[in-house]
A and B are shown apart, each in its own frame.
Chain A
Amino acid sequence: MKYQAKKKAVILLADGTIFHGKAVGDKEGTAFGEVCFNTGMTGYQEIFTDPSYFGQLMVTTNAHIGNYGTNSDEVESDSVKISGLICRNFSYEYSRTVADKSLKQFLDENDIFAISDVDTRALVSYIRDQGAMNAVITTDIDNLEALKKKLSEVPSMEGLELASKVSTTDPYFFGEENSTYKIAALDIGIKMNILRNLAKRGAYIKVFPYNSSFEDMEVFAPDAYFISNGPGDPEPLSDAIAAAKKMISSGKPVFGICLGHQIIALANGVSTYKMHNGHRGINHPVMNLRTGKGEITSQNHGFAVNREETEANTDLEITHVHLNDKTVAGIRMKDKDVFSVQYHPEASAGPHDAEYLFDQFFDVIKSKSSQAV
């Protein structure tokens, strides 16, 4: 690409610190959100379309972003969910036979503002030490005072309910109608690859909006329930927590991922908290305490389940633990077929080490339904 001077842009953090960079393309723009970073070296398209990232200004730590363009087949939802992108080197031109667009086109079509040439490493270290915070990225550098004021009005992620912004408004179906099993999935920000994984194993899935009641879902007569991943703080999701309680008492298998895992914990009376810094990357080590084996997992969460309360809860067992900070990575209910993980067995982006959890879910469903017969 011919040399092209780029517009100056900045990231203004809520504490007043400014990181300098340049606008991607000749766009002008401004975007607000909570700054978070992802250390994945592949899978930017999956990450940007992951509903759990709703409302986040994403810092990609990989040195280059956009190298292989985008492919309409490799999305995790129907649109880009991050509120803005911050990177070091942006690849305007890409190379991949199956790609249909450049990342630039893809972001433009989704009206997402991006800035590049930022010292992302310094930014990540800063966030690592100071904790996650809100920020604005903008080309409007002459107007920073006004933006600062506006930024102070952006609510903190803590206590923020975001599932409603990314959930489907109407129920829909996924998979083959004549599949062996039926699963009712509560969409509080579901990733497409979860549905692909469930369907692949022989399930017909009905996806329900975030505020659906258990009774709404029960009508589908599912063999099992699933509670999805999603963005924001789990505690304000009272409808989901109430539904989860009833799913648990229904005696049917229940599987939760990420935000869904937190909902299951909350339904068991275990609280959640906002982490100093979340886990966001595709190289997170988790120990499966039941098998003693490690797995490399894809993670994306800013809240976590309280460890002491989980340990004290006689109904619950910690099945997985994050090896770096010993946070709770997975739980199960001792006397029920209810289990959940904080990370993403559906990967996309990330390694497939934890895919066995879907198999485990289907094993339970299978044995349950054979009992019923």
Chain B
Amino acid sequence: MPKREDLKSILIIGSGPIIIGQACEFDYAGSQSLRSLREDGVETILINSNPATIMTDPTMADHVYLKPLTTKSIVEILKAHPQIDAVLPTMGGQTALNLCIQADEKGIWEDFGVEIIGVDIDAINITEDREKFRELMLKIGIGMAPQATATSFLKGKEIAQEFGFPLVIRASYTLGGDGASIVYKPEEFDEMLSRGLEISPIHEVMIDKALIGWKEYELELLRDRNDNVVIICAIENMDPMGIHTGDSITVAPAMTLSDRTYQKMRDMAIHMMRSIGDFAGGCNVQFAVSPDENEDIIAIEINPRVSRSSALASKATGYPIAKIASKLAIGYHLDELDNQITKSTSALFEPALDYVIVKIPRWNFDKFEGSDRTLGLQMKSVGEVMGIGRSFQEALHKATQSLEIKRNGLGADGKGYKDYDQIISKLTIPSWDRVFVIYDAIQLGIPLSRIHEITKIDMWFLKQYEELHYLEKEISTYTIATITRELMLEAKQKGFADRQIAHMLDCYESEVHKKRTLEMDINRVYKLVDTCAAEFKAMTPYYYSTFEAEIEKPDGTRYVENDSIVTDKKKVVVLGSGPNRIGQGIEFDYCCVHGVLAAAECGYETIMINCNPETVSTDFDTADKLYFEPVFWEHIYDIILHEKPEGVIVQLGGQTALKLAEKLDKYGIKIIGTSFQSLDLAEDRGSFSELLKANDIPFPEFGVAETADEALALADKLDFPLLVRPSYVLGGQGMKIVINKTELEEHVVDLLRKIPNNKLLLDHYLDGAIEAEADAICDGKDVYIIGIMEHIEPCGIHSGDSNATLPPFNLGEFVLQQIKDHTNKIALALNTVGLINIQFAIKDDIVYIIEANPRASRTVPFIAKAYGEPYVNYATKVMLGEKKVKDFDFNPQLEGFAIKQPVFSFNKFPNVNKNLGPEMKSTGESILFIDNLKDDQFYDLYGRRKMYLSK
């Protein structure tokens, strides 16, 4: 049956601010869903409170509501749009589902005659209520781990008595493994049990016997109204049971499953989906498989909605799950839809991969001092990267290169651990670095069997690691002069970076690149992600790189096949922002996507390079060409050599893209917009303060120190309190306010230990100052300030953690004028072409400059949403030289004030210091519109300011 004609207007619920466990994958899902529904002529109405998303752009839906995700907002929207026929709650994660259920319980949907589509509320209730779920599974003959429910502390204790340890405690109705823990010892049990009960909104926990060490898999399913079900992707967790799947290194396709066991699992998944309810849409099922000869399969859970894993599965296979799930929700059958990649075959099919993807989570433990860094059942990562390669080893290497944690891949960088006890302990207690430690362990000669015994990671993966180790050993017996082409090709095919090979051969990276490209003719080629392993011709420009063997034509000419054909159009590369992390989140993806779209409007062929599977920028529908590659020098340089673009846009992708500017400049590649020299000038405190002095702009007194002695000497000159920070960092990492010499010394020693050879900046801290910031667009001649924001929190709280009010609420004309003047002067003095963000401290009516960043900032999307203007689009056109600032007809619209509110994920880190300071800790943001300053919520926030000041 085709599309339902009775669904003419649909409400979509977004996922709100980014928190751990619910990140920008839902912006990707929501954006796809909106596009998909509009394609079919359906009117779309969206509610989401997160301004940093693409989905909340005015062009994405017919009506966008940037409102708090509450039933009150829902009622307001339904009153304003009585034409809404249905609500699609499956694109906004658990937040949207919970809101949908709440509204359902209050009878709101019924009152307004709105149908819930894409999901079945009973299905959600079954899957969320572990007891019901368990009963159902047993009824349909699906195995589960021994499990029982406790609604009281006493009952919990009884269950533990019966099952014995280790046990798993999971809180009902929670997200991302909140309140879940593995308990190995009886003495830990009481605390974990209380915590689980507390966190569950219905005061209920499930206690399971732990299947530690079983292999873990996830299947992504789609079902239509005709009950056709297809499996889009099977994902294998390299980290077995015991680590939350969001914190596990995962691989697709499944690497170690026989057909027999896989098909059994497939049957079970389909049976489960059909049993929980009657709905059309996406679904995710998790299984555990016993690693013994029985290969027993046990169901862990089922999520009847689009999830983080479906975003990964979409990027891993090229099959756009959210897009198709939306079509299924409005009535289409799978067989009526086209495969979106081939456009010639059916959407009713299961993708075949001829490559491997590896996802590695990105953690930010350094931001949560005192946090428990052990990985377990509760998700702690803040983002993820995906590597695509023609082998597991290549994909694994690419993923590790994408993480931006100053590693070049596995081994060969002198950073590995060498201490036996330390390695054993790091294998035993998994944390962010275990993926590297496994390699260190092999290099130290620890037997694979021992590593397997400790980690339970399947031997196949460990043997892949071991092969890399032996290859490294082999290469190390050569020099750059003696290495053979064959060995070089093998090293590249297994993903070793030129830098790593240089380390093995003891030479420079540039020598390796030169040798392999010019002498050996070993060049990256690009292959398509096409859903069908080349069985059909595919048109969609979604590429990854690899190295391949040669092909010889009958006439003797040799070539290596490259799927990415270079056109003769003028092109521009936009560098993405890599994995989400604190300080660099979805805002930059928003900027990159708009940069791409603006460049396309100017007639450029757009090329996106990014490695974050959760994002809209890595949707193959966004840029003309998507290279899903690490934002890592070697990969970028090779793409540039292949595509020969006019230039590269670095100012939209946050610090990740920006820090590649120097090398691009060195290699003579044009940086679009503000030049590297200006970017560098703004970053270098010495030269920047000269610039400020020359322009007569005040700034807090500061100095640069490289040792603790120098820092102490500086302190005498600058006076306490001091703000101490390393240069070139993100989100205020390592930034601290110190009030005396003891604190200063401690912090300096600590910083120099963590980041050796870094220069430290010491600023006199303006105690009690007001903080403000401005974003502007500059074309080198004219400056337009797009917004000035006043922070409610005083100076000293990181701007990302502050509530920022647009426009300022109590800055006088005199102060505002200084802000405007300084912004103008600095933008011009830096020869800014594009965006610039300047942060100010205001004390005694004097405006001081804290810092200037000639790039897109975290606040640009917020201002764009508050004023309803496409600023990134404008800025990109300015960067490209297509437009001047004067060409735009600026017309910001805002009644009252907009407040950017930070959102934290502290509940994932129970013991962490929640005090805010110069180091950013928030994971996301939401927007709040208020009519005037009498608003209660503003009062509340403003009241908190006093608290900070009194500290």
Contacts and interface: CB of A to CB of B under 8 A. Distances in A.
Contacts of B256: 67-68, 95-96
A20 interface: yes
Interface in B280-296: 291-293, 295
A51 B553 CA distance: 33
Interface stretch (B100-108, B424-432, B530-538): B530-538
Interface in B521-546: 527, 532-537
Contacts of B909: none
A74 B486 CA distance: 36
Contacts of A15: 554
Contact of B352 (A18, A98, A281, A285): A281
Please indicate which of the listed interface residues A71, A95, A118, A350 has the most CB atoms of chain B within 10 Å of its own CB: A95
A61 interface: yes
Contacts of B474: 3
Interface stretch (B258-266, B874-882, B919-927): B258-266
B384 interface: no
Given A41-B234, A63-B356, A95-B463, 7 more contacts: A5-B486, A61-B534, A97-B292, A122-B551, A283-B350, A283-B352, A323-B349
A161 to B, nearest CB: 28
- The binding surface of chain B is classed by DSSP as loop
Contact of B345 (A94, A294, A324): A324
B669 interface: no
A294 B459 contact: no
Interface in A1-46: 1-3, 5, 15-21, 37, 39-43, 45-46
A19 B267 CA distance: 39
Q: Chain B interface residue count: which class?
A: 35 or more
Contacts of A245: none
Given A3-B471, A119-B549, A294-B228, A39 B463 contact: no
A120 interface: yes
A135 to B, nearest CB: 13
B354 A61 contact: yes
A348 B548 CA distance: 31
A212 interface: no
22 contacts: A3-B467, A15-B554, A17-B552, A39-B354, A41-B234, A42-B259, A43-B259, A62-B352, A74-B258, A93-B463, A97-B292, A97-B293, A121-B527, A124-B354, A124-B533, A124-B534, A281-B352, A283-B352, A284-B349, A296-B348, A349-B263, A350-B259
Nearest to B559: A122
B552 A125 contact: no
Interface of B: 226-228, 230-231, 234, 253-260, 262-263, 266-267, 291-293, 295, 333-335, 344-346, 348-356, 390-392, 458-460, 463, 466-467, 470-471, 473-474, 486, 493, 527, 532-537, 548-554, 560-561, 563
Contacts of A287: 335, 348
Nearest to A66: B460
B536 A324 contact: yes
Contacts of A351: 263, 266, 350
A366 interface: no
Contact of B549 (A19, A282, A293, A347): A19
Contacts of A261: none
B260 A74 contact: yes
B346 A324 contact: yes
Given A40-B352, A95-B458, A89 B391 contact: yes
B319 to A, nearest CB: 11
A91 interface: yes
Given A20-B549, A125-B561, A323 B335 contact: yes
A191 interface: no
A117 interface: yes
A185 B81 CA distance: 65
Given A19-B551, A93-B460, A323-B348, A68 B335 contact: no
A246 interface: no
B458 A120 contact: no
B349 A3 contact: no
Interface in A111-143: 117-122, 124-125, 128
Contact of B255 (A20, A39, A64, A348): A64
Contacts of B333: 294
B534 A285 contact: no
A95 B460 contact: yes
Contact of A39 (B346, B466, B532, B550): B532
Contacts of B292: 97
A336 interface: no
Contacts of A283: 349-352
Among the interface residues B267, B293, B459, B551, which one has the most CB atoms of the partner chain A within 10 A? B551
B349 A296 contact: yes
B439 to A, nearest CB: 16
B25 to A, nearest CB: 24
Given A37-B535, A283-B352, A98 B295 contact: yes
A2 B228 contact: no
- Most chain A beta carbons < 10 A, residue from B258, B536, B560: B258
A352 to B, nearest CB: 6
A323 B391 CA distance: 31
A285 B349 contact: yes
A137 to B, nearest CB: 13
B849 to A, nearest CB: 53
Contact of A122 (B253, B350, B470, B561): B561
A95 B458 CA distance: 7
Contacts of B356: 63-64
Among A18, A97, A294, A351: residue with most chain B CB under 10 A: A294
A88 to B, nearest CB: 6
B391 A63 contact: yes
Contacts of B561: 119, 121-122, 125
A46 B533 CA distance: 20
A323 B346 contact: yes
B470 A63 contact: no
A45 B259 CA distance: 9
B249 to A, nearest CB: 16
A22 to B, nearest CB: 8
Contact of B470 (A1, A46, A98): A1
Contacts of A292: 226
A91 B461 CA distance: 11
A145 to B, nearest CB: 12
Contact of B353 (A41, A46, A296): A41
A357 B56 CA distance: 49
A18 B258 contact: no
Contact of A88 (B227, B390, B458): B390
A306 B537 CA distance: 24
B391 A64 contact: yes
Contacts of A71: 258
Nearest to A63: B356
Given A61-B533, A293-B228, A97 B335 contact: no
A355 to B, nearest CB: 9
A350 B491 CA distance: 34
Given A285-B349, A324-B536, A17 B263 contact: no
Contacts of B537: 128
Nearest to B487: A5
B257 A1 contact: no
Nearest to A116: B549
B460 A63 contact: no
B535 A128 contact: yes
Given A93-B463, A324-B345, A39 B535 contact: yes
Contacts of B254: 41-42
A125 B352 contact: no
A59 to B, nearest CB: 10
Contacts of B548: 119, 121-122
- When A and B form their complex, which 10 residue pairs have the shortest distance between CB atoms, in order from nearest? A43-B259, A16-B554, A122-B561, A61-B533, A39-B352, A95-B460, A323-B346, A119-B548, A42-B259, A18-B552
Contacts of B352: 39-41, 61-62, 281, 283
A268 to B, nearest CB: 27
B544 to A, nearest CB: 11
